[in-house]
Structure 1
Amino acid sequence: MDKITLYYFLVANKVTLARGENVKLMLVDAGLDHKYVRVERDEWPNIKGKLQEKGAHSCTLPYIEVDNQRFFKTVPIMRYISTKLDGKYHGSTPEENQLLDVVCEVSDVWFDHLKISFAGSEEVKDNYTNNTLPAQIEMFEKFYADCKGPYLLGEKITYPDFLVYHMIDDGGAREKLKGTAPNLVKFVEAFEERPNIKNYLVSLA
């Protein structure tokens, strides 16, 4: 692929927070040449207007730019990259790909809960920590228990794995996995040992 430019907000002054990091992790893992442009919130309305003038109908962040073409929405971006790489991060059968679609959708539900918690009252935050988060961990543990692991489809990493890893990291789940979700623990350990990912995580320390 030609060099990719990824655009996303800098959320709460944390370089890995929120949806852009899913795409970033895939770009890193695939070893793709890319640039990451962080957009200031007061810049976005002007940028969005220019994108709409150029024919973009659903302008959201993150988006990527490749060879003067722009692609929007986190999961569709990830599917596009995988497709361009000959299905590198897709499943091998329609049934596997259906499972990947399901896990993508339920990870979006988890993300929506996290967004509500992030901006909510202390009561809302407590409900997320004490009820929503344990329920999400329990459900995703079942998905990862269905295969021999460490990834959702066994030895092959696929694009939902990036979403799930980032939700674990972003959603406050990491410290709650031990003793309750052994398959997710195995998954996180394997993910973080992937050579390109490992080097990237070291660079953030």
Structure 2
Amino acid sequence: MVDLSHVKLHYFDFGNVPTDCGRGENIKLLLEDAGISHEYILHKWQDWPKVRDEWIASGYTAGSLPVIETADGKRYSCTTPIARLLSRQLGKYYGKNIDDEHLVDSVADLAQDWYYRFAFDSWLRPDNREKHLQEDVPFHLQRLERYYELRDGPYVLGSEISFADFQTYHMITDEKLKPKDLPPRLAALVRTIEERPNIAKYMKKWSKSQ
């Protein structure tokens, strides 16, 4: 078992970029929704290499963020594996059978595909941003919409939320898309997630801190 009595979530401090940007927020949303006590630690770019090297020397092999650190000092890395680990420990956010798990994993993987394009064209090559919005974003929206049409409900599993829903939702917010910009099922997903009590509370608190 993993000790989730208190968790430290580690990610990057992007400076002028809002703290809800990037892959760490996928885990943050899950932690908030599940009501898991946690601390969000943001590492400055110039400080991260030293921290990374110290972690690698102590047995943490990935050398990347996000990372969760549990109350007993264990560290777990990589966005989707972290979400999967938390979900299995909590007994929710991952469905009820192997078909559910495959569906959740597929959508999480597609959301990560989208993130790679977003990061490349929004941060590394900002001059490509308009082309990204016109070509890449519609492609990813349409592909994910097809998955959300498979079952009757706002989430990819239907009425049960999964960690993949947080990843899809966060890509939409990272791109700064509004419900009017989205196909019907994804628009419903955004509205439903933002109405979840712990997420609504978190978003209200986060908006006041910016």
Scaled by the length of structure 2, what TM-score is found? 0.92
Of 142, 157, 161, 1:157 maps to: 161
User: Which residue is equivalent to 1:167?
Assistant: 171
Q: CA deviation at 1:196?
A: 0.1
Unaligned segments of structure 1, at least 5 residues: none
Q: CA deviation at 1:121?
A: 4.7
The superposition leaves residues 81-128 of structure 1 with CA deviations (integer Å, 9 ceiling, x where unpaired) of: 111112x11111111111111111111110011011112152x21220
How far apart, in 1, do the equivalents of 2:152 and 2:118 lie?
A: 29
User: Which residue is equivalent to 1:60?
Assistant: 64
User: Which residue is equivalent to 1:69?
Assistant: 74
The superposition leaves residues 45-99 of structure 1 with CA deviations (integer Å, 9 ceiling, x where unpaired) of: 110111011111111111011011000111111111111112x111111111111
Matched residue of 2:17: which SS? coil
How far apart, in 1, do the equivalents of 2:74 and 2:34 lie?
A: 20
How far apart, in 2, do the equivalents of 1:43 and 1:52 lie?
A: 15
Q: Which stretches of structure 1, 4 residues or longer, exceed 4 Å deviation after superposition?
A: none
Task: Say whether residues 1:196 and 2:198 are aligned partners.
Answer: yes
User: Which residue is equivalent to 2:22?
Assistant: 18
Give the alignment of 1:34-183 within 5 angstroms: 34-66=38-70, 67-86=72-91, 88-118=92-122, 119-122=124-127, 124-172=128-176, 174-175=177-178, 177-178=179-180, 181-183=183-185
Identity of aligned residues (%): 32
Q: CA deviation at 1:178?
A: 2.2
Unaligned segments of structure 2, at least 5 residues: none
How far apart, in 2, do the equivalents of 1:70 and 1:185 lie?
A: 35
Scaled by the length of structure 1, what TM-score is found? 0.94
Change (3 A) 1:46 1:194: same
